[in-house]
Amino acid sequence: MIIIGGGVAGLMAALAASPRPVTLLNPGPLGAGAASAMSQGGLAAALGADDGVALHVADTLAAGAGLCERAAVERIIGAGPKLVETLLRLGVRFDRHGDALALGLEAAHARPRILHANGDQTGAEIMRALIARVQATPSITIMQATARKIVIGDNGVTGVLAVRGDEVVTLPTDNVLLATGGIGGLFSHTTNPEGAIGHGLMLAMDAGAALADLEFIQFHPTALDVAGASLPLISEAVRGEGARFIDETGAYFMHGGDLAPRDVVARGVFAHVQAGHAVFLDARGIGARFATRFPAIAAICARAGIDPATQPIPVRPAAHYHMGGVVVDASGRSSIEGLYAAGEVARTGLHGANRLASNSLLEAAICGEAAGLAMAGLEAKRPRDVRAGLPPLPDAGPVRKLMSAHLGVLRDAAGMELAVQAFAGMESKNPAAGLALRIALAGLARKESVGAHALAGGKQFCRAA
């Protein structure tokens, strides 16, 4: 069994599959290049005395704007409290108030339910604990390599081709889990690692797997506005502590909506930038407490020469999370026999048109574990064969500007049509353009503004949950 990707989803799958032998592919050392290690705010689970799974389910359905699948929401959210027990057993040290787990509040959550670690370094702590377990598990072989093709025979998966340095590695197998993360790197500005260009989705497309909801891409309103494509994130929790948006004139322009749902805030910030303003987060009210409450963000700001206690922080919207992906069932099974997916690359039905903050680490861990368990229980049944050629290397460079201009925070049909034409001309030589084309076509096909898919001038639409 092969797992492609060493973020939370891939590591949880590998641990759940033990003692079944697993080869886990990751391009670099575990942790590097994974969004999981960068997660700040935390992991949502209904653990508070005044909270319950039904409330967490209701918040998730509301954020998804009527396009979540209720059964998936109830299954995944319902598994949250047990997952926290599992993570504690695996050695994750969440922050506590005395003996009790500390629960933070985030926008669009009705109750405090965000578990966090070391203040704003939740993902790094979860990854630390999981990597230590994986490295101590003899059934897991870690290979530093990039998967380049999933080989498909008459009845499903027969192998994987990977590249390690200059060498092509052939891996015969009949079960593969894609746990390759998101697509933010297809845009000019993203909070994701730069390499998160949706490579797993390209592999799944090439294999013929069904994909869905590709048009739903969440933009975070507060990436630090510095040079480069991969921008550090300034967590929503900073606004939770009282920071407010201002522009270069010092004017507050969100009119009290600073903590509105993420897509609403992203559109407000985007519109202000489009109107020619510079946007800042004014956290001066938090004062000297900033450095102790948000040590990692304080360090990020310091590297950019900004002291949040005395200076406004320059921010801009950036591509953050992909709700769409490989269509999977409760065990992570895709439409192709032997091909599984979990984490951000998968489309489980949990997020619908928009993800509720802090539901994605939860989903990656729960669904990674479920896929690992399901795959470990399978009997080998298909012939294994790796005779196939390598597809062209994906190159996000030529698609980034077009994706940002036409598939960004606000979209319109004319722009998406332009993008479709441009991507169609490049797709045969560049799988990144092929994926961008599928995203643009999905955007064009969605005629109403709903969740994270916002049409310029369109009225925001929400189906009944």
Chain contacts with ligand FAD (rule: CB under 6 A): 4-10, 25-27, 33-36, 38-43, 122-123, 146-147, 179-181, 191-192, 195-196, 199-200, 233, 321, 343-344, 358-361, 364
User: Taking Cα atoms as reference points, which of 413, 438, 414 lies closest to residue 426?
Assistant: 438
What is the distance between the alpha carbons of residues 77 and 235, in angstroms, rounded to a whole number? 22
- For the CB of residue 447, give the shortest distance to ligand FAD in the complex, in Å: 28
**At its nearest, how many Å lie between ligand FAD and the CB of residue 464?**
26
Q: Which residues are catalytic?
A: 262
- The tokens for 397 are 């460079």
CB of 412 to ligand FAD, least distance (A): 27
Pairing of strands 43-44, 96-97: unpaired
State the nearest-atom distance from the C-beta of 223 to ligand FAD, in Å: 8
Select 33 or 349, whichever has its Cβ closest to ligand FAD. 33
Residue 181 contacts residue 316 (beta carbons within 8 Å):
no
| Selection from 93, 14, 460 nearest residue 260 by Cα | 460
How many angstroms separate the CA atoms of 347 and 333, rounded?
11
CB of 252 to ligand FAD, least distance (A): 26
Structure tokens at 435: 């994926």
User: Is residue 16 classed as helix, strand or coil in its secondary structure?
Assistant: helix
User: Can you tell me the distance from the alpha carbon of 242 to that of 238, in angstroms, rounded to the nearest whole number?
Assistant: 7
Separation between Cα atoms, residue 375 and residue 365, nearest integer Å: 15
What's the rounded Cα separation, in Å, for the pair 354 and 344? 13
Nearer to ligand FAD, 409 or 420 (CB): 409
Q: How many CB atoms lie within 10 A of CB 194?
A: 13
Write the single-letter amino acid at 431: P
CB-nearer residue toward ligand FAD: 16 or 419? 16
CB of 10 within 8 A of CB of 27? Answer: no
Compute the half-sphere exposure of residue 329: CA atoms within 13 Å on the CB side of its CA. Answer: 10
- The CB-of-359 to ligand FAD minimum distance in angstroms stands at 6
Of the pair 64, 343, the CB lying nearest ligand FAD is at 343
How many Å apart are CA 258 and CA 118, to the nearest integer? 25
Nearer to ligand FAD, 180 or 348 (CB): 180
Nearer to ligand FAD, 360 or 449 (CB): 360
